[in-house]
Amino acid sequence: MVKIAPSILSSDFSRLDREVVEAERGGADWIHVDVMDGRFVPNITIGPRIVESIRPHTTLPLDVHLMIEEPDRYIPAFAKSGADWISVHQEACPHLHRTVHLIKEQGARAGVVLNPATPASVLEPILPDLDLVLLMTVNPGFGGQEFIPGVLDKIREVRERADNRNPDLEIEVDGGINPETAAQTASWGATVLVAGSAVFGKEDRREAIQAIRKGAEA
Ligand code: DX5
Ligand code: ZN
């Protein structure tokens, strides 16, 4: 069964506690937290203090997506703040193997994110070390962008590469996910679907989450 991870990027930041509670009550599996530094991506969002503030309001895993330069400097703080999963961009990590193991040493599960233009082959040497691969289906930085269909092939490629070497690998997709793109990405092998505007842009979060799940399971 696929997991749905609502992204709080599209939620009301003045009532984050209630937004997270509503997502959990609405049937979310994980909570996706987008961290942006204004350097790796052209937008600034939140830091470990906010993750720490959300932590007591949900029992769901917190899935922290670091869109930042030099993530090694901040991984310990995010792990301490209550992140269960921490993902870093391959494009921001010259020593990716070291960064992945730093995440694990800090007690979190480790993910690597690939931008739409980055090929799956860059993961080959470290595939067995990963808990998760996050494939961006938009260019990172903003919610509400349109899904890039060219990434679908990459989902299948990662699935096939992982089937032999890391069958428990989670494959997450992020950007432009709605009931239709949920169906496509899940059928190509995605196991975790991030959705920002398709959940928090809707009045009824339960209905929105159910619609995405229905799409994915169709
Ligand atoms: C984009 C973020 C996404 C964003 C997705 O840079 O990584 O997690 O919240 O938003 P939607 O689902 O609206 O495309
Ligand atoms: Zn994200």
Surrounding ion ligand 2 within 5 Å at CB are 34, 65, 174
83-133 pLDDT, tens digit per residue, is 999 999 999 999 999 999 999 999 999 999 999 999 999 999 999 999 999
The answer to whether the CB of 84 falls within 8 A of the CB of 51 is no
| CA 164 to ligand 2 center in whole angstroms | 27
Which one of 29, 37, 63, 174 is the catalytic residue? 174
Beta carbons within 8 Å of 105's beta carbon, 6+ residues apart: none
At 42, give phi and psi (nearest 5°).
-85, 50
Closest CA to 149 of 180, 114, 113: 180
- pTM, whole model, 2 decimals? 0.98
> Could you say which DSSP state residue 7 is in?
B
Continuous H helices in 35-178: 48-54, 75-80, 96-105, 152-165
Consult the annotation and say whether 32 binds a ligand: yes
Would you say residue 167 has pLDDT above 90? yes
Q: State the pLDDT at residue 218.
A: 86
Cβ atoms of 48 and 78 within 8 Å: the answer is yes
From 4, 7, 205, the mutation candidate for ligand 1 (largest count of ligand atoms within 8 A of CB) is 7
Residues 6+ positions from 167 with CB-CB distance below 8 Å: none
The secondary structure of residue 189, as a DSSP letter, is T
Any atom of ligand 1 within 6 Å of the Cβ of 6: no
Fold entry, domain 3-217: TIM Barrel (3.20.20)
pLDDT tens, position by position, 16-58: 999 999 999 999 999 999 999 999 999 999 999 999 999 999 9
Looking only at the bridges linking them, the beta strands covering 132-136 and 170-174 are parallel
What is the pLDDT, as a whole number, of residue 210? 98
